[in-house]
Structure 1
């Protein structure tokens, strides 16, 4: 059996699911894409190759090995993009919650059934069908659960809107002792620089009481200000629109002190080191072309 435990984003990681790029399938058609950044690269002919993405994920697996983290991988499904393990499920406390993701991605969820089945039955939750949620929008933060959402009337028309208010209410019911704080995110089907696909695309709490944030990712300025005040202005690293587009907020914490980051994030990585973090740099720019980065490809199961 697996005894799950995830209270926050930064406690020492012991076990994680890391996505796989094996048998990733051919380059998708524009009309089959889920986000504007992938579309850009499909049109430009710069969509990442399977070989490059396998290499990048392997670099992260090596970092996990270095820190003695147990790594699970999804079972490989032929011709299926299984890179973004964060989308398919998430853990809060000792409960695993299956995400209701885009309908034609259900196969991805089945690929971690072997993990799901090792968790006690009373610790497995499948949300009602009306609740749409993906793990990139869900951040356990001790007594809080931060959630990205979108509640505009055009929700059904936005393939980039992944988490609805029904899911926010359901998570609050599941965890009555925590404060669920939701944030309206800016969405665009066509402009990647104006689209916060998930909360972790414009915000990420890291160790030492710090956080990375992009103001324009938030539709409501007051909600952005609440976060800045929560962490304290002096503890917040503000990223630019271009840095958000490159996925600078989507780093991943192994512990309070250790962060995996993309090797090209020079400004961020220098700041992190100045704050006393150990930064494990990896190449991840190819995976980043699909509007997801390090946090999106990892799904923590156990933290101390």
Structure 2
């Protein structure tokens, strides 16, 4: 059986689910877009091809295996986009939570059958339907659990609003020993530079005490400031709107000192190296056209 263990975002990764771009289906229609960046590329005729995305993901898999990580892949579903495995489930401590995602994506969770079969059933948690939550909004950080949310009365109007306040309370009830800290995120269905689809689109810890942060992704300035105070201004890499749009905060940590990043993130990658990180640069810009990047396409199961 698989002994799940996720305490934070950066401890040494041992086991992960990496999504797949194989048989990801035809280019969606504008009304089928899950986010404004995908919509932008659908309308512009620049939506990524399956071949390009599959090649980028295999490059990511190669880096993960280089560090001895066991890599699971979902069962391939015909004409189904299964790239973003972070959307469909997440692990805190030794529990795997099924994300209550957009109903059309339910089958993606079932495609994790090989992994689900190796986890004790009592460690797989199925939240009630009123709990809306996706893994991109959930960040275990030792004593804390950081959660991105949106509590506006117009929540139902935003396809980009994925985690509701009910979910914040639900996770807090599951982990009374943790401090759950929620952050109101800026949402837009039409402007990708004004939309934090998930918390990891505007914030991510790296190492043991550093973070990538985008101020405009947060609706409440005091919540943004809490993160600045927590990590310390000197330990924060602040990104602008264009860098947020390119998904600068959606890198992925294999270990406290090893970060996988997109090869075009020149400013970020230089900063990471200046801070002492080993940076594994890979091409991932085609996948980024769907408003997701490296963290979005991984579901960590075991870190030690």
TM-score class normalised by the smaller sequence: over 0.9
The answer for the alignment partner of 2:70 in structure 1 is 70
CA separation in 2, counterparts of 1:105 and 1:271?
Answer: 37
CA separation in 2, counterparts of 1:186 and 1:113?
Answer: 34
CA separation in 2, counterparts of 1:64 and 1:14?
Answer: 9
The answer for the alignment partner of 2:166 in structure 1 is 166
TM-score, normalising length: structure 1: 0.99
CA separation in 2, counterparts of 1:102 and 1:36?
Answer: 16
* Structure 1 unmatched runs, 5+: none
The answer for the alignment partner of 1:235 in structure 2 is 235
In the TM superposition, residue 110 of structure 1 has moved relative to its aligned partner by: 0.7
Is 2:24–2:50's contact at 8 Å kept on the other side of the alignment? yes
**Which string of whole-angstrom CA distances, capped at 9 and with x for unpartnered residues, describes residues 94-130 of structure 1?**
1000000011111111110221121112211000000
1:210-225 to structure 2, matched below 5 A, reads: 210-225=210-225
Is 2:10–2:208's contact at 8 Å kept on the other side of the alignment? no
**Which string of whole-angstrom CA distances, capped at 9 and with x for unpartnered residues, describes residues 210-241 of structure 1?**
00000000000000000010001100000010
CA separation in 1, counterparts of 2:252 and 2:24?
Answer: 23
The answer for the alignment partner of 1:182 in structure 2 is 182
The answer for the alignment partner of 1:53 in structure 2 is 53
Aligned partner of residue 254 in structure 1, secondary structure: strand
1:37 maps onto 2:37 in alignment: yes
Is 2:75–2:111's contact at 8 Å kept on the other side of the alignment? yes
Aligned partner of residue 285 in structure 1, secondary structure: coil
CA separation in 2, counterparts of 1:209 and 1:179?
Answer: 17
1:205 maps onto 2:205 in alignment: yes
1:89-100 to structure 2, matched below 5 A, reads: 89-100=89-100
CA separation in 2, counterparts of 1:201 and 1:208?
Answer: 20
**Which string of whole-angstrom CA distances, capped at 9 and with x for unpartnered residues, describes residues 154-192 of structure 1?**
000100000001111110010010011000000000000
CA separation in 1, counterparts of 2:73 and 2:46?
Answer: 26
CA separation in 2, counterparts of 1:268 and 1:104?
Answer: 35
CA separation in 1, counterparts of 2:121 and 2:48?
Answer: 38
Q: Name the Cα RMSD after superposition.
A: 0.5
The answer for the alignment partner of 2:144 in structure 1 is 144
TM-score, normalising length: structure 2: 0.99
Q: Which aligned runs of 4 or more in structure 1 are off by greater than 6 angstroms?
A: none
CA separation in 1, counterparts of 2:124 and 2:21?
Answer: 26
Aligned partner of residue 177 in structure 1, secondary structure: coil
